[in-house]
């Protein structure tokens, strides 16, 4: 039977748990910065891009949101007899798969679970070790494989949509609100992120009579130098719409240079393509007039109960919209920890077992999410559509808060869009 946990941030009460002293990441000693020093501590790890990687701005704002979320949980009584610490075992991986593996090895022996593992290839690189250790994680990645039990091994708490269905959702919204594109170019990072998004774009095109005229692989500027090759390919045969699955630096470069070169179409970007700092670049005008991006969660200006709680809990205005993503992606882990505490067995194997059948309502920040299914309910997925706006907080404004896709009602997905 599926259990629906409608999650406010109120305490679950001081239910007693019989956690063995040897359980990794669980101690009866208080957390380093405990609110109530009579409670024990649950340590969760974070592996993220926090400094010099291509998604460092997003990684830092995700961390701000997660810290604010768990601080509120602790202030309202924690979970059972415990408070939560995600700071002690936070490590910067710089979006480097090799560094991710190293830092995973440093953190894993000390935590009950991971509050976040950032990056698809990075998380896949440690999935076998997670499997062996029964180590559950929240996903700092929207790869479609996390939505299938056959590929996530019952270990990953994903959120919202996948990159694949994000492209479908975004294209349906775009067709309804601007024009129906007949030709599409996709500029995407090599690998699971870009491949997943490009696959979704292709599925939309096949269902809606459009053509992918170019699928252009690229990488971060730190690897490839610049985006001149994708820009030249687009200008050689300009499409109706350019879709982007890159980082924000590459987004600003592509949009700005194409606009300056005379491109008159529009741009649609995946969640990681944006951060508010882009409004301080020379591409700001082109971004505010020619570009939209999608997100699985309510933004800073959202009206859901969860978005209101996130705003109220922020110690200051966040640096980026990723704050809300970090807040929203914490609900599933809270639900799982709560369920385990109530079972009286707060350990890794129990978390993994209880993940199957868990359904989480993130107080309206996303559609309810169910875990442990063989396949996701893609028809129920929704998107939040945003536009850059320098006059608003964090430089972004929501233009559609609960968009549902007619194409997702028609197509079938029975396996990950990329492997």
Q: Once rounded to an integer, what is the mean pLDDT over residues 247-253?
A: 97
Binned at pLDDT 50, 70 and 90, residue 20 comes out as very low
pLDDT of 238 above 90: yes
Element (H, E) at 385: strand 382-388
pLDDT digits 0-9 by tens, 80-106: 999 999 999 999 999 999 999 999 999
Interatomic CA distance for residues 198 and 187, integer angstroms: 8
pTM: 0.92
Interatomic CA distance for residues 252 and 249, integer angstroms: 5
pLDDT of 4 above 90: no
pLDDT digits 0-9 by tens, 112-142: 999 999 999 999 999 999 999 999 999 999 9
Interatomic CA distance for residues 345 and 343, integer angstroms: 6
pLDDT digits 0-9 by tens, 47-80: 999 998 999 999 999 999 999 999 999 999 999 9
Per-residue pLDDT at 9: 47
Q: Could you tell me if 244 and 188 are in contact, meaning their C-beta atoms sit under 8 angstroms apart?
A: yes
Interatomic CA distance for residues 388 and 359, integer angstroms: 33
Q: Once rounded to an integer, what is the mean pLDDT over residues 311-324?
A: 93
Q: Once rounded to an integer, what is the mean pLDDT over residues 338-343?
A: 96
Binned at pLDDT 50, 70 and 90, residue 393 comes out as confident
Q: What DSSP character marks residue 355? A: H
Per-residue pLDDT at 375: 87
Q: Could you tell me if 350 and 17 are in contact, meaning their C-beta atoms sit under 8 angstroms apart?
A: no
Interatomic CA distance for residues 393 and 45, integer angstroms: 30
């Amino acid at each position: 039977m599926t259990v629906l946990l409608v999650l406010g941030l109120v305490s679950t009460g001081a239910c007693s748990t019989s956690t063995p002293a040897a359980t990794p990441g669980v101690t009866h000693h208080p957390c380093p910065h405990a609110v109530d020093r009579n409670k024990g501590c649950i340590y969760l790890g974070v592996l993220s891009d926090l400094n010099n990687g291509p998604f460092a701005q997003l990684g830092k704002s995700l961390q701000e949101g997660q810290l604010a979320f768990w601080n509120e949980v602790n202030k309202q009584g924690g979970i059972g007899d415990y408070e939560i610490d995600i700071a002690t075992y936070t490590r910067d991986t710089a979006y480097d798969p090799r560094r991710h593996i190293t830092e995973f090895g440093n953190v894993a022996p000390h935590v009950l679970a991971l509050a976040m593992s950032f990056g698809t290839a990075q998380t896949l690189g440690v999935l076998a070790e997670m499997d062996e250790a029964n180590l559950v994680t929240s996903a700092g990645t929207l790869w479609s494989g996390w939505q299938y039990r056959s590929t996530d091994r019952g270990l990953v708490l994903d959120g919202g949509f996948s990159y694949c269905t994000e492209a479908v959702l975004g294209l349906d919204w775009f067709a309804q609100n601007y024009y129906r594109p007949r030709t599409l170019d996709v500029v995407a990072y090599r690998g699971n992120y870009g491949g997943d998004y490009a696959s979704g774009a292709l599925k939309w095109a096949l269902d809606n009579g459009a053509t992918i005229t170019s699928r252009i692989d690229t990488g971060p500027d730190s690897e490839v130098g610049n985006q001149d090759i994708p820009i030249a390919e687009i200008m050689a045969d300009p499409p109706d719409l350019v879709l982007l699955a890159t980082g924000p630096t590459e987004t600003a470069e592509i949009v700005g240079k194409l606009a300056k070169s005379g491109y008159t179409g529009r741009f649609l970007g995946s969640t990681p393509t944006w951060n508010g700092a882009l409004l301080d670049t020379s591409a700001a005008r082109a971004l505010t007039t020619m570009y939209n991006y999608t997100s699985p969660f309510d933004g800073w200006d959202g009206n859901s109960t969860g978005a209101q709680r996130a705003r109220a809990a922020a110690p200051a205005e966040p640096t980026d919209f990723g704050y809300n993503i970090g807040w929203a992606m914490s609900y599933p882990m809270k639900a799982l920890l709560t369920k385990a505490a109530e079972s009286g067995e707060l350990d890794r194997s129990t978390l993994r077992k209880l993940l199957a059948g868990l359904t989480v309502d993130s107080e309206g920040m996303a559609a309810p999410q169910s875990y442990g299914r063989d396949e996701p309910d893609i028809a129920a997925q929704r998107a939040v559509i945003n536009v850059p706006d320098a006059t608003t907080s964090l430089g972004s404004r929501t233009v559609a808060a609960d968009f549902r896709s007619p194409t997702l009602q028609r197509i079938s997905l029975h396996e990950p869009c990329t492997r």
